[in-house]
Each structure stands twice: as C-alpha cells, then as structure tokens.
Amino acid sequence: AQSVTQLGSHVSVSEGALVLLRCNYSSSVPPYLFWYVQYPNQGLQLLLKYTSAATLVKGINGFEAEFKKSETSFHLTKPSAHMSDAAEYFCAVSGSGTSYGKLTFGQGTILTVHP
Amino acid sequence: DTAVSQTPKYLVTQMGNDKSIKCEQNLGHDTMYWYKQDSKKFLKIMFSYNNKELIINETVPNRFSPKSPDKAHLNLHINSLELGDSAVYFCASSQGANYGYTFGSGTRLTVV
C-alpha cells in the first residue's frame, strides 16, 4: 500500500519569495514520486518526477524537488515565486506489485502568491 | 493537437438519467485511467485499462461502467445518476504509472 500526505492545505507567499510545498510518502516498495499542478478549471500538468535516478529533480517553470529516503519526503521548491505560480499542487506516488499502474495522490496544496 | 481529450467538458443532468463521457488519447500510450475529483479536490482512481483490458477496478458502484473499444479510447458510462456523482472526472493515459500520467482537461458533471 502507498499513501501521500501533503502538509498544509494552503500556502501563501509574496512574489519573489521562496516557495516550499511539503510532501511525505509511504510506500512498501521503492517509490516513484511526482508533482502535478492544476490551474483553475484545468486538468493536471506534470511538473516533475523522481524515478530513482538523481535525488534532486528539476522540473518545469523553475520548480525542483529533492527525494530524501531517510525522511520519506519529496518537497517541492522554487527560489522565487511568480504570480503565475498560483495554483493547486498535488504530490503523487506510484508503486509496483498490485499498485502498479496506479498513482495515489495527496490532498493538494493551494498556493497563493501575493504581489 | 490535444494529447488527451474528453467530451463533454460540462455535463448537467437530472437524477436518474444515464450519461456517458468519452476520452481519446493520441499519445500511443497503452494504459488509460478514469479518476474522480470530488468537491474537496481529492483525486481517486476509478478504473484503469491496459490495451483494452481492465486492470484496476476500485470500489466503484456498478452503475459506473468503463468501456475501451481500442487502446486509444476509454469511455465512462454512468447509469441512474445520483446527486453524489457530481464531481470532475478526469481521463488520463500513460506508458505505465512509473512514467507519470497525461491528463485530459476534465468533465464537470453536475447532477440536479
């Protein structure tokens, strides 16, 4: 079984400030981890993914995430927030075995960016 | 070209009706999925098909029936719609979950 917990359902930052969205996972097998972004009334877009290669993963729009096995975490960061980053962000985990083929999503974090 | 396309985008219908949502992908992926996003934005898998074969069938009322005529299409038929079925339904495709999904733009179903 696998699960994802996103700490903080809402995060608010000022434009230009650091963005940090937290994700912790639980998986009985080596995980594949993903961050998705959802803009209002749109589908989910893949930001980045960890697939057991480099632990620091760079994605689109200046986002990156670091896989820390000891902390079972995959936090998403961006050095400088932009107004266009305001959206909802979802962390997801994929495993193998009976869970193969299924992504399990966290409950989402709404990012608000203030001018 | 849209990679994963769903129709309709919006669907408003009365309780008790039967409705279908269509999904098509042009990415050549072998696996397609239906997810339900509830009013709190929680995403839960409903079904998954790989090369037209059902491989994931979560605990979903049997009023929901997926159909995959070929690996590029996965449709969702819902019988006897209930108020609780109101949600956004997302179709997605992938080469395998470990590669991540490509999502459609969603179908917002409102049952009145």
DSSP structure string for chain B:
--SEEEE-SEEEE-TT--EEEEEEE-S--SEEEEEEE-TT--EEEEEEEETTEEEEE-S--TTEEEEEEETTEEEEEE-S--GGG-EEEEEEEES-GGG--EE---EEEEE-
CA distances from B26 to B2, B5, B7, B63, B93 (A): 8, 9, 15, 28, 10
The verdict on a CB contact (< 8 Å) between B56 and A101 is yes
**The pLDDT of residue A48:** 95
Enter the tokens of residue B109. Answer: 């179903």
Give contacts of B101 with chain A, Cβ < 8 Å.
44, 46, 103
Phi and psi (nearest 5°) for A70? -65, -30
Kindly state whether B16 is in contact with chain A, defined as any CB-CB distance less than 8 angstroms.
no
What is the arithmetic mean of pLDDT over A16-21? 98
The pLDDT value given to residue A97: 52
Taking contacts as CB-CB distances below 8 angstroms, the residues of chain B near A43 are: 4, 90, 103-106
Residue A99 is predicted with a pLDDT of 46
Specify the pLDDT at position A100.
53
Contact across the interface for B48 and A43, Cβ inside 8 Å? no
Q: Which of residues 44-83 of B touch A (CB under 8 A)?
A: 44-45, 48, 50, 55-56
Compute the distance between CA of residue B112 and CA of residue B10 in angstroms, rounded to an integer. Answer: 13
Residue ranges of chain B with per-residue pLDDT less than 70? 1, 97
CB B102 to CB A51 under 8 A? Answer: no
